[in-house]
Amino acid sequence: MTATATSHRSAVESGRAGFGQVLRAEWTKFRTVRGWLIATAVAVLIMVALGWLTGVGSHSSYDNGPGTPTVTGHPYVPLGPDGEAVNDRFSLVHRSLAGDGSITARLTSLTGAQVLLNHDDPSAPSETEPAPVQPWAKAGLIVKENTKQGSAYAAIMVTGEHGVRMQYNFTGDKAGPTGTVSAGSPRWLRLTRTGDTLTGYASPDGTNWTTVGTVRLAGLPSTVQAGLFAASPVVENVSQHLGGGGRVTGGKSQLTAGFDNLTTAGGFAGGDWTGTAVGSDDAQGLDQRGGFQQDGDTMSVSGSGDIAPDVAGSGDAMEQTLAGVFGTLTVMVVLGVLFITGEYRRGMIRTSLAASPRRGRVLAAKALVIGAVTFVVSLVATAVTVPLAEHILRGNGNFVYPVTGLTQLRVIVGTAALLAVASVLALAVGTIMRRSAGAVATVIVLIVLPYILAIAGVLPPGPSQWLLRITPAAGFAIQQSLPAYPQLSRAFTPAFGFYPLAPWAGFAVLCGWAALALAAAGYLLRRRDV
Q: What is the DSSP string of 142-176?
A: EEES-SSTT--EEEEEEESSS-EEEEETTTEEEE-
* pLDDT band of 7, cuts 50, 70, 90: very low
CA distance 331 to 160: 51
Phi, psi torsion values for 324, nearest 5 degrees = -85, 5
Same domain, 387 and 271: no
Report how many domains make up the chain.
2
**63 within domain boundaries:** no
Q: What is the pLDDT of residue 64?
A: 45
260 and 346 share one domain = no
Tell me: do 259 and 338 sit in the same domain: no
pLDDT in tens, 380-414: 999 999 999 999 998 888 889 999 999 999 999 99
Give 60's pLDDT tier (boundaries 50, 70, 90): low
Band of the pLDDT at 488, cuts 50, 70, 90? confident
435's CB contacts (< 8 A; 6+ apart) are 341
179 and 233 belong to one structural domain:
yes
| Three-class secondary structure of residue 514 per DSSP | helix
Query: What pLDDT score was predicted for residue 427?
Result: 97
Note whether 95 and 183 are same-domain residues. yes
What gap in Å lies between CA 507 and CA 413, rounded to an integer?
12
In a domain, 74, yes or no: no
Residue 420 has pLDDT above 50, yes or no: yes
Residues 6 or more apart from 342 whose CB is under 8 A from it? 348, 436
Which pLDDT value is given to residue 434?
A: 92
Domain boundary among 309, 327, 356: 309
Task: Give the domain extent around 402.
Answer: 18-57+316-482+491-527
Rounded mean pLDDT of 97-122?
84
- Regarding whether 250 and 142 lie in a shared domain, the answer is yes
Residue 65 falls inside a structural domain: no
Are residues 428 and 344 both part of a single domain?
A: yes
Q: How does pLDDT run across 132-149, given as a tens digit for each residue?
A: 999 999 999 999 999 999
Residue 2 falls within a domain, yes or no? no
Do residues 363 and 434 share a domain?
Answer: yes
Give the end of a domain, one of 287, 309, 331.
309
Predicted confidence (pLDDT) per residue in 181-207, tens digit:
988 899 999 999 999 999 999 999 999
Final residue before a domain boundary, out of 309, 336, 365: 309
DSSP letter, residue 233:
P
* Whole-number Å distance between alpha carbons of 9 and 7: 6
pLDDT tens readout for residues 435-463: 999 999 999 999 999 999 999 878 888 89
CA–CA distance, 235 with 351 (Å, rounded to integer): 66
Query: Does the residue 521 lie in any domain?
Result: yes
- pTM score, two decimals? 0.85
User: Domain for residue 8, yes or no?
Assistant: no
Residue 138 phi, psi dihedral angles, 5° rounding: -150, 145
Instruction: State whether 341 and 405 are in the same domain.
Output: yes
Confidence of residue 240 (pLDDT cuts 50, 70, 90): low
In a domain, 73, yes or no: no
Residue 198 belongs to a domain: yes
Sequence-ordered strand ranges (E) for 117-252 = 127-130, 138-144, 153-159, 164-168, 172-175, 187-194, 197-203, 210-216, 223-231, 235-240, 246-251
CA–CA distances in Å: residue 103 to residues 152, 215, 217: 18, 16, 18
Residues 109 and 162 in one domain: yes
Residues 337 and 280 in one domain: no
By the 8 A CB rule, do 472 and 509 touch? yes
pLDDT for the residue 30: 93
Res. 286 pLDDT band, cuts 50 70 90: very low
Instruction: Report helix, strand or coil for 210.
Output: strand
Same domain, 196 and 324: no
Terminal C-alpha separation, the chain: 27
| CATH for 192 | 2.60.120
pLDDT of residue 515: 97
If pLDDT is split at 50, 70 and 90, which confidence band does 330 have? very high
